[in-house]
Structure 1
């Protein structure tokens, strides 16, 4: 009571002998609900305004690890060289000598890696030709503008674009880390095929309604028509 004087003013619970005890939780709106961990989390979590890109990152058809990575990219939370302190780098000299592991030119950063680096730019130009993103150049601002404008799309073509952006950023970052920590290297052509294969594998699990636009997409990605289902309408 000394530590928490507010407890003095809380009335004791009324016990009913012939009724089983139950745990209740007061939700965010102040209403008593049956206790669930989800209710507790929803009441305790910090709330911010909904961002306009959320549905471009988190959507039902996404690849979760890719979406989590895109979220980190958008928030600029990756451990890129431009965000490393002198203490983390070891010394000011080591920091000054750092350069992009992909192109060996300039220090890597979010905007450099996605996709202004010569290596990443070549990969991006290859993979974007497989989707309707020909007007999205190799700058992160351009990619971000597309994500915001297309966040709520449910059209198959738009969904494939969102999956492709996630795969491209994920594997570019993976290649960067491979070269930095293990010296393994893949050419831009090989990495492009890894990205495209990842997207294609995801599409193979879709059940898609028969529609001329959908059939064109399936043909482009060389996916069997058995994945197409009849339109219930």
Structure 2
């Protein structure tokens, strides 16, 4: 089954020329030395290839914003990036959205009892705001946080710090969104509530592991605590 995540993974494999039979076929038969981004396609392309090409638009537009730069894009195809993408597009099923088609749905935030909206949950909420401020503080960034629109603008425009710090911020942003959303879902399904400190430790481990997996970058948990 070719779902969205499969499409993104195939695109990333093709971009970095991963040593697989499929990637070799794409570069030899389809691209023929041309850029993945510049390939316009043919009428004879299969539906799978047409779908993969369609998804490259989103990947190109958001890869640099999430993690990377023009010289070497790193696009992590994971649950973190997917949840962040849904948030950017305003498609996360927060309670205010669900209540539009299910009036009986509770609208209160599972962390603080205020109305759960995308703007509130990321990161105007007391719980998620504390997590976000702590993550920023570990990166040497100190500021009062607001709702999602304000924080998203901050994420994509921050210039302070070294290249490593900015890369850490991009990975940590996706991780923070993901773990806050996961904790919210845990509570909605009646699982044990976890403190902000537990979520923060998960984010620390993710950033360290994710950056350590990149070629030429060494990063340990102690590097940003």
TM-score when normalising by structure 2: 0.65
* Offset, 1:116: 0.9
| Mapping for residues 1-12 of structure 1, pairs under 5 Å | none
Aligned-CA RMSD value = 3.9
The alignment status of 1:220 with 2:192, answered yes or no, reads: no
Change (3 A) 1:154 1:69: farther
Change (3 A) 1:57 1:100: same
Change (3 A) 1:63 1:190: farther
Give the structure 1 partner of residue 19 of structure 2: none
Give the structure 1 partner of residue 182 of structure 2: 174
The alignment status of 1:99 with 2:108, answered yes or no, reads: yes
Structure 2 gaps, min length 5: 1-28, 31-37, 69-73
- With 73-82 and 194-203 compared, the bigger mean Cα shift is at 194-203
Change (3 A) 1:154 1:63: farther
Change (3 A) 1:49 1:57: closer
CA deviations over 1:183-231 (Å, ceiling 9, x no partner): 321011111111112212222323436xxxx88x885237xxxxxxxxx
Structure index of larger Rg: 1
Partner Cα separation in structure 1 for residue 43 and residue 91 of structure 2: 38
Change (3 A) 1:115 1:51: farther
Give the structure 2 partner of residue 189 of structure 1: 197
Partner Cα separation in structure 1 for residue 140 and residue 60 of structure 2: 24
Q: Which has the higher strand share?
A: 1
What is the number of equivalent residue pairs in this alignment?
184
Structure 1 gaps, min length 5: 1-22, 223-233
Give the structure 1 partner of residue 71 of structure 2: none
The alignment status of 1:57 with 2:60, answered yes or no, reads: no
- Conserved? CA contact 1:130–1:220, under 8 Å: no
| Mapping for residues 1-233 of structure 1, pairs under 5 Å | 35=45, 39-41=49-51, 45=54, 54-57=63-66, 59=68, 60=74, 62=76, 64-85=78-99, 87-88=101-102, 92=103, 94-95=104-105, 97-103=106-112, 105-135=113-143, 137-149=145-157, 155-208=163-216, 220-221=223-224
Change (3 A) 1:68 1:42: closer
Q: Which has the higher helix share?
A: 2
Partner Cα separation in structure 2 for residue 79 and residue 218 of structure 1: 32
TM-score when normalising by structure 1: 0.63
CA deviations over 1:64-113 (Å, ceiling 9, x no partner): 2211111101111011111113542xxx4x34x5311111x212111111
